[in-house]
Chains A and B, each alone.
Chain A
Amino acid sequence: MESILHGVEGYMYPNEMELQWSILIVLYPYITGLVAGAFILASLERVFRVESVRPTYRLALLTALAFLLVAPLPLQLHLGHPERSVQMYLTPHTASAMAMFGFVYLWYLMVVLLLEIWLDYRKDIVRLAGSTTSPLRHVYRVLTLGSRDVSEEALRADDRVGYVITLVGIPSAFLLHGYVGFIFGSVKANPWWSTPLMPIVFLFSAIVSGIAAVMLLYMAATRMRGAEIDMRCVDTIARYLFYAFIIDFSLEMLDLVHRIYEADESFHTLDFMVKTRLYLPHIIVQIVLGTLLPLGLLALTQLVKLTDGARRGTYALAGVLTLIGIFAMRWNVVIGGQLFSKSFLGYTTYKMEFASREGLLAAIVLMILPFLILWALVELLPPWTDATAEARHQA
């Protein structure tokens, strides 16, 4: 605690010198954002019939699942009493956005994601249940739920139900990540967070990060398999990334311009914070490197005819910068919102530990975990096996 005192400048209420929400709470909206974004990309194909992105359909769903499974972990590590977290399901306070999330999460996981993945993979699951000789065959058998019916009628029924689920899944994905924005946006005590734009800004930055993540994963995984990257697919994804990014950037600029113009009582302290303690993460990393640069690179690919290789490299670079930039955005919202005093008279610092329960190491492990889970999922339910899966979609 003594070290925190030294990091305080000006006046902070005594109880607010130590930050309440750590890097794990930065990680959480980042992860759920990737889930929502990946799902929106998948829904592009399923609902909006953008068939050029079909090669990424299954990968996007598995990515969403892998990240969704990890999403509660940073929260559990953060809670003072994680063993009591089930209380959110037993006695949810309906006035609290945080409580209602528990149900949105469950809904999204069970009814949207798991069901959609199961329906899309069912034919392969049935086939693998019969053909696999390794112990994995038991897993497939359980996954068939006892039914081996893969007749045309059954598959058509699957397709119809899957369509409806994706349709329902789009607003569900919006809700999943929009609520995170609302968790911050509804806190009137904190002027950095309190704005009706917050859920929308969070949502569009989620879409941007999810699309970028799937794009990068697709390119990397295809390369690792030694297969050919479908450029038509990647070009389309990049175009949607570009559009989403423009909307996201416009929303963030709207918020900024509005704040500067109205210059209410909190403006002076927030302005000072952005220009000093938040200069590197906000101006340099989030805006310049994480938004303007990738936007410029993507615009370049839209305006100038580049070779396939050049485009791939540009997309990869833009994708990585985007992911870094969106992480920085989460950091700036969560950490930035706690660096200034609610008295508007002072600032504190965030002393991030390394090996503690809420430290950097935990954050790194939690960011690696979804990729491990994704790898396992891809092994269990390969997204890119046969042409018959493609044919069923086209039917």
Chain B
Amino acid sequence: MKLRIVVEQREAPSLRIRLLIPLLALGGTFLLTSGLILWGHANPLRAYYYFLIAPLSSRFSLFEVLVSATPLILTGVAVTFAFSGGYYNIGAEGQLYAGAIAAAGLGLIVGGLPAPLAIFVLLVGGFVAGMAWAWLPAWLKVRWAVDEVVTTLLLNSVMAYLVSALLNGPWRDPESGWPQSPEIAASAHFPKLVARSRLNLGFIIAVLALIALWYVLNHTAFGLKMRAVGLGKSAARFAGIPVERTMFAAALISGGIAGIAGVCEVAGIQYHLIDALSAGYGYTGIIIATLGGLNAWGVGAAALFFGLIDTGAQTVSRVLGVPVYLGEVTQATMLLVTLAVLLLQHYRIRIRRG
């Protein structure tokens, strides 16, 4: 007698499966990453305590989680806009830096303005800069059908050199000589939401971006068109939707929001442009958009959870000496495990005789 593993299509995912999926994904991820923690000479259970529980146990570390989540919410929203519109923008990392450059530059000249106006100028400048950096690949895509995945990725490398050129050239700090831009004007600093914490206006902006994403995708004609293009270009074209124009708009909005993420890091946290401004937030945004199912609330939840992982990874590294890259590995593992587990929604695995 032979046993065979058969994969069958499932009609509708049952409630049990839907509840099981996040649990399986979490369990699988932590099982896989415990190997690394053991390799780092630490006890996985202790590590997970510092990873997931400790950051939530004090008020100030809780605020740190929100600070870490801020750029992730914004890049998650940026990527969701593009992916929903069928445009694979992998360039959020570069667009984030474009926004950061704009904020660092404008921040030097808005000193005379009242704070709300100065901040507004930075936000608009960052949005436009992110859009501008997203423009070329978007235009090449709709005009010449050049693959946007490759061009957005290549422009991320170009942006890294542009930032380095600025920081080693005109913007090298004249006082310290460090490769960081001069501090932006005090009026452009984002106000703190809680005294003595790092939590600032950036988090509110990120939440507003989430709400805007939800509204545009679900309650506007443009959102409907975007999702139609994302589901299938030829069907959308057949339905009379201007596919190229919709995709182009989704790409530019995506770049603009990624630019805002850069503004929030410069004006909310660093007050300078530095080359390590983003810890790969543009790429993490892709994971978050995917785990969030291209849905605003899902993106928000995934970004908060990843903010927790980022904060926790710092703690684990400080307390247990496990390299901080454990955070990145955990996030990528979670993406892959979830992609696999999500298939259970549509397929069931059976063992059959025969």
A associates with B: no
